[in-house]
Amino acid sequence: MKLGELTAPELKQRLTGSGLWLRTGEFVACIHSRFADIQHSLSLLYADHPLADNAGFADFHISIENGSGLRRYIRPQAQFVIDGVKPFQPLPANQAFPILEWGMNWCITAYGHHQLVLHAAAVARDDRCLILPAPPGSGKSTLCAALVNRGWRLLSDELTLIDLRTGAIHPLSRPVSLKNNSIGVIKAFAPDAVFSRATEDTSKGTVALMKPPRTSVEQMMQTARPRWIVMPKYVPSSPARLDGMGSGEAFLSIADNAMNYHILGTQGFKAAGNLIDECSAHRFEYSNLDEAIATFDQLAREA
């Protein structure tokens, strides 16, 4: 059963009762919340995602709760809770859905040590994966959103999950998080894309989430093989330019962007090394999304 098959009262009943058991890739999250915005945003952005059997196993038991005491009424807050633990300070109530998304990312980076977790977007053409590791402000998510609106399969916007045993990339196929000017850029680039409402004044500025393509969600249990590592950088007025990168520099960029590299130790070192061996590595500057798409489509054809 898909989330979108629930009526609004049924979705609310699950969120406020036994929980909404939502599958995103290999992870299952049991979600509780009374926030109307979370109910609305889940129904909008996760309509194509399957629901797991609530008699089974959930990786994370998550709750987005109201602030305590006077915070229920004066400047209301939203608190992220996992298994009774509150890892973050509460945020204003209008950020309830963003904190759910950020919190689910945190759960994977904090507990998903059976994989090497990279702070990187990942998209695929057929079963070949393009990994886009980059710091905030590089245009990574904008590029990811553009690619998946032009035929590439979304694996993940924020976290690339690398199997320590096989080296395969495991999808999440969750919404793409866009910030500030990128929201308008992608809305103009892909007018049929579905977005959550924009949330202003977060720690990242204004944020909005783009619904993942249905085909990407339907293939979220299908792994991909790493093929390209590309470090993107948005440079105003720059033509699209793809340059090769040495394996040593590529390894350091992967290690720098690996969220749990220091925890995995030797396993993380081997996984990063195997990834470099399997991929061609590049730096990429761009300003025009159509030029960027053409560059990556050509890269895929040459491969």
- pLDDT tens digits, 37-80: 999 999 999 999 999 987 778 999 999 998 776 566 678 899 99
Residue ranges, the chain, pLDDT below 50: none
In sequence order, the 6+-apart residues with CB closer than 8 A to the CB of 238 are: 285, 286, 287
69-123 residue pLDDT tens: 656 667 889 999 999 899 999 999 999 999 999 999 999 999 999 999 999 999 9
Same domain, 99 and 121: no
Say what the pTM is. 0.94
Same domain, 199 and 91: no
Buried/exposed 67-84: b ≥16 CB within 10 Å, e otherwise: beeebeeeebbbbbbbee
Same domain, 65 and 10: yes
CB atoms within 10 A of CB 240: 17
Same domain, 105 and 139: no
From 82, 111, 140, give the residue that closes a domain. Answer: 111
pLDDT for 71 equals 63
Please count the structural domains in the chain: 2
pLDDT for 14 equals 97
Integer-rounded Cα Rg, in Å, for the chain is 19
Same domain, 96 and 156: no
Same domain, 104 and 174: no
Task: Print the domain residue range for 97.
Answer: 3-111
167: amino acid identity, one letter: G
Same domain, 98 and 181: no
From 111, 129, 146, give the residue that closes a domain. Answer: 111
Same domain, 162 and 296: yes
Same domain, 128 and 198: yes
